[in-house]
Amino acid sequence: MGDKIDFVITWVDDSDEKWIMKKSNYQKVDNNQKINTDSRYRDYDTLKFWFRAVEKYAPWVNNIYLITDNQVPGWINSNNPKLKLVNHTDYIGKQYLPTFNSNVIELSIGNIDELSENFVLFNDDTFLSDFVTPDYFFNDGVPRDLYAESPIISTRGSVAHAMVNDMEIINEKFDKFEFYKKNFSKIFNLKAKTKILRTMALLPNRKFSGIWNSHLPVSYKKNTFKEVWNCYNEELSSTLKNKFRTPYDYNQWVMRYWQLVSGNYSVRDSGSGKVFDLGTTDIATIKDEITNRKHKMICLNDTDNVTNADLIKNTLLEGFTQQFPDKCSYEI
């Protein structure tokens, strides 16, 4: 199979009373409520189906690292040799804990000693939806991804502030026109489809305006995390101090941007994954996507537009149960 590829997934159980009490104690002094709403933590009980999908569609995975705040699902088979349970205390400095900030949790992932050089970072709302081979994520050890320049659009409660902070690092470290000269065939590639138009519209700008994000799983080199941290330790460390998200945070996308503008990527088709916004997209459409496998990967992005979480949860569970009716080896 070549180089080993690990999967990493972050998860939180928002119904855990101990966690709720701990979060409440710290959130009393949080001044950024708009970017730390319930949708950032809400769990739809779909994690077991994430594991079933991985076992069915990517049985070749080396190891799976499940990162939690000392929370272990009651149904998980901790004896599965491929499963590595990781607590925040295992890889984040104790001076920054506890944390309820996903940016802290994800920026620090490179500290996990046993993690392979090649890994794919999932959120618990991103799922494999069809069969994939290792070269879907890495081509001869090079991450698969897609570059498209795109303006950063700020909306209340969004991650736009972090994206701006990330791009500040990118523009300081990299020359846009040099990147375009060296990677012309990757940037203006037919696999980017209509996203090429965004890149073309922003081409005259001397600096990077922003980079398109798919909100789907990202293929990473562990060394990228080490390199960015070595160059910008002070900036990234400032984020680690924030118990909750703030407008001053950097996030894991700075690692992705760094890989892209370094030219360290192999082009992936822009249509291979699909993002669905819960509370906006018709739930029947999402269920149809789950059961009929129209894309390789999907994201069921929770939003503040959700008004009936129970209905959405029940519909998602119906779809996933139909698609994955049987337990997998990651369940007891």
pLDDT (tens digit per residue) in 137-148: 999 999 999 999
Contact 8, 65 (CB under 8 A): yes
Stretch 21-36: mean pLDDT: 73
Q: Report which of residues 55 and 157 the model is more confident about.
A: 55
Long-range Cβ contacts of 72-76 (<8 Å, 24+ apart): 73/11, 73/13, 73/47, 73/48, 75/48, 75/331, 75/332, 76/330, 76/331, 76/332
Stretch 263-283: mean pLDDT: 92
Q: What does the block give as tokens for 300?
A: 């069921």
| Lowest mean pLDDT across 42-46, 66-70, 207-211, 300-304 | 300-304
Which CATH code fits 5-323? 3.90.550.10
Is 304 a residue whose pLDDT tops 80? Answer: no
Q: How confident is the model at residue 204 (pLDDT cuts 50, 70, 90)?
A: very high
Contact 256, 264 (CB under 8 A): no
Q: For the chain, what percent of residues have pLDDT higher than 90?
A: 83
Stretch 240-259: mean pLDDT: 96
Give phi and psi for 207, each to the nearest 5.
Answer: -115, 160
Is 259 a residue whose pLDDT tops 90? Answer: yes
**The residue to which tokens 């000693």 are assigned:** 113
Is 1 a residue whose pLDDT tops 60? Answer: no
Q: What is the pLDDT of residues 92-104, one digit of tens each?
A: 999 999 999 999 9
User: What pLDDT score was predicted for residue 41?
Assistant: 72
| Lowest mean pLDDT across 41-50, 87-96, 261-270, 300-309 | 300-309
Long-range Cβ contacts of 228-232 (<8 Å, 24+ apart): 228/169, 228/254, 228/255, 228/258, 229/110, 231/173, 232/169
Burial profile 126-137: b = 16 or more Cβ within 10 angstroms, e = fewer: bbbbeebebebb
Q: How confident is the model at residue 156 (pLDDT cuts 50, 70, 90)?
A: confident
User: What pLDDT score was predicted for residue 79?
Assistant: 97
Stretch 19-34: mean pLDDT: 76
User: What is the helix (H) or strand (E) element at residue 27, kind and residue range?
Assistant: helix 17-27
Stretch 175-203: mean pLDDT: 96
- Cα distance between residue 196 and residue 282, in whole Å: 28
Beta strands in the chain (DSSP E): 5-10, 64-68, 83-87, 118-123, 126-128, 138-139, 142-145, 218-221, 266-267, 273-277, 297-301
Stretch 41-68: mean pLDDT: 95
- Cα distance between residue 72 and residue 87, in whole Å: 9
The DSSP code for 271 is T
- Cα distance between residue 57 and residue 113, in whole Å: 27
- Cα distance between residue 311 and residue 315, in whole Å: 6
Q: What does the block give as tokens for 57?
A: 């569609």
3-class SS at 316?
helix
Q: Report which of residues 43 and 122 the model is more confident about.
A: 122
Q: How confident is the model at residue 308 (pLDDT cuts 50, 70, 90)?
A: confident
Q: What does the block give as tokens for 145?
A: 């991804």
Q: What is the separation, in whole angstroms, between the first and last Cα of the chain?
A: 29
Is 39 a residue whose pLDDT tops 80? Answer: no
User: What pLDDT score was predicted for residue 203?
Assistant: 94
Amino acid letter for position 92: I
Contact 248, 272 (CB under 8 A): no
3-class SS at 39?
helix
